[in-house]
Amino acid sequence: MNTGKNVGQLKKLRQRFRPRETPHAALQQGVDAFLEDLKRRKLNPQSIHKRRGDLRGFTYYLETHGIARFQDVTRRTLDLFRLWLLESGYSDSMQESCMRAVQLMFRLLAARGELFEDPAATVEIPKAPLRMGTVLSVREMRRLLSMPDLTTLQGVRDRAMMELLYSTGMRRGELMGLKVFDVNLDNATTRVHGKFDKERILPLGKQAVRYVRLYLTDVRPNLQPLLSRQHEDLWLSRNRRLIGEALPAVRIAGYVKAAGIAKPVDAHTFRRTCATHLLLGGAHPVAVAQLLGHADLESLSHYLRTTVGDLKRAHAQTNPGK
C-alpha cells in the first residue's frame, strides 16, 4: 500500500477542490443537512470530515459548470463528474469515496422530499481494488510490544494501549473513546462503541488484562491529580490534559523505529494484524468479523485472501504429498 502516494493525492485533491468562495447557499444547505445527519447517526468525526472533503469537490465541480442547485443535477451530470475525476488522475479509491458520498447525500435529500427524483439512485459505483496494508508477523509484534519503557508512566500506558489494540482489533477511535468503566478486568472484557455508536463487548487476552490492570492501579492514579477535574476517560497524559487523537500514532511511530521494523505501521496495523493472526490460528471468519465490528464478511475478504496466501507459501515450502 503506497500510503505516501495516497496522502499526496488527497492533499492535491483538497487543494484542487478548495473553492475560492463559500459554495452557493442552496448547495451548502444540502451538504450541511447530510453532514448533520451523519452526526445524528454518530458517525465518527474522521469519517464525517472525509465526507465533507468529498462533497466539497462535488460542489466545486457543479459551480464551475453553472449548476447552483442539487435539484438541477441529472444522471448525466454525475457521469461527467466521475469522468472528470478519472481524467484528473485520481485513484480508484478516491473516485469511489467521492461518488459514494454523493450517492448517500442524494439518497438523504430524496428521502426528505427535497428532490423530485434521485439522480444517483441507479449509479453503480465499482469497488476499488482492496490493498492490504501492513501485517506484522508474530515475532515483529512481540518485539514492538516490548518497546515501551515500563519504568515510566507513559511506557506502561503505551504498552496497555498497544496490548488492547492487538488483543481486540479495535479501531483507534474506539480505543481513544474508552471510559474507565468500559473495562471489566475480572471478566477479561471491554465495551466499545463503534461506528454509528454500535456497542459490542470484546474479550481481552491475558497480556492486555495484565497491562491495563497495571496502568489502572499504578499509573492512572498518578496522572488523575494533575488534571483540573476528575475524568472518566481511560487514557490520560502527564501534561494536564486528556490524550489527543494524534498521540497514539506519534508514540507508535517511535516504538516502530526503536524496534527496527522497516514496514509502515500505524494504529490500524494492530487491527489488521489481530485479524490475520486470529484467522491463521483457526478462528472462524464470522467470529473475527464480529470482533472487528463488521456487519458481514465482505470487509473481511482481504484478510482471508492474505491467510490463504500464507497457507500456499507454507504448502510450497513443506511440499506435503511429495
Per-residue pLDDT tens over the stretch 102-130: 999 999 999 999 998 999 999 988 876 65
Q: Tell me what pLDDT residue 134 has.
A: 86
Smallest Cα–Cα separation from 300: which of 278, 322, 318? Answer: 278
Q: Is the pLDDT of residue 295 over 90?
A: no
Q: Specify which residues 200 forms β-bridges with.
A: 192
Q: Tell me what pLDDT residue 184 has.
A: 94
What's the first-to-final CA gap in the chain, in angstroms? 36
CB burial string 261-278: b at 16+ within 10 A, e below: beeebbbebbbbbbbbbb
Q: Tell me what pLDDT residue 107 has.
A: 95
Name the amino acid, one letter, at 265: V
Per-residue pLDDT tens over the stretch 46-69: 788 889 999 998 999 999 999 999
Average pLDDT, the chain: 82
Q: Tell me what pLDDT residue 139 has.
A: 94
Q: Which residue has the higher pLDDT, 238 or 253?
A: 253
- pLDDT band at 19, cuts 50/70/90? very low
Lowest-confidence region among 47-56, 67-76, 180-189: 47-56
All structural domains of the chain, each given as residue ranges with its CATH number in brackets, are: 3-111 (1.10.150), 138-318 (1.10.443.10)
Please give the average per-residue pLDDT across 221-246, as a whole number: 71
Share of the chain above pLDDT 70, in %: 78
- pLDDT band at 71, cuts 50/70/90? very high
Burial class (CB in 10 A: 0-12, 13-18, 19+), 304: middle
Q: Is the pLDDT of residue 322 over 50?
A: no
Q: Tell me what pLDDT residue 314 has.
A: 45
Q: Tell me what pLDDT residue 112 has.
A: 92
Q: Tell me what pLDDT residue 33 has.
A: 93
Q: Is the pLDDT of residue 215 over 60?
A: yes
Report the alpha-carbon distance of residue 244 to residue 112 in Å, rounded.
37
Share of the chain above pLDDT 90, in %: 48
Q: Is the pLDDT of residue 321 over 50?
A: no
